Amino acid sequence: MRMDNPDFSTGPDPDDLEVLERVPLEPYQSRWLEIQIRELNVKKSVVIWDALQEWVSRYPNLEFPPSTSSNVVAMALAEFIARHREEFLPLDPY
C-alpha cells in the first residue's frame, strides 16, 4: 500500500483518523506523547498526524502491505521524536 493510497484517509481533521488513537506504540513513544499532550495542550492525534505527514513527505515512494499501517505510524513517530528532540519537552529516563 502506498501512503497516497485512497484507502488512507487524509481528511482535514486529524481527529477523523481513528487509527491514530488506537495504534500500538512503543512504551517510550506513549510516554513521550503523554508529556507533549499534557504540557503543550495538544491532541495526541495532531502530533501523530504531523509525524506521519513529515515521514510520508520524506519517503514518498515506500510501499507497505495494508496490514502494516500501524507499524508505519510507529516508525514515523520514532523518527519524528529523534528529528525534533530539541523542539519538544524531553522524556525523563526511568
**For 24, what's the count of Cα atoms within 13 Å in the CB-facing half-sphere?**
3
- How far, CA to CA in Å, does 81 sit from each of 51, 65, 67, 93? 8, 24, 24, 14
Mean pLDDT across 78-83: 93
Mean pLDDT across 45-60: 88
Beta bridge partners of 63: 2
- Higher pLDDT: 91 or 72? It is 72
pTM, to two decimals: 0.70
Beta bridge partners of 2: 63
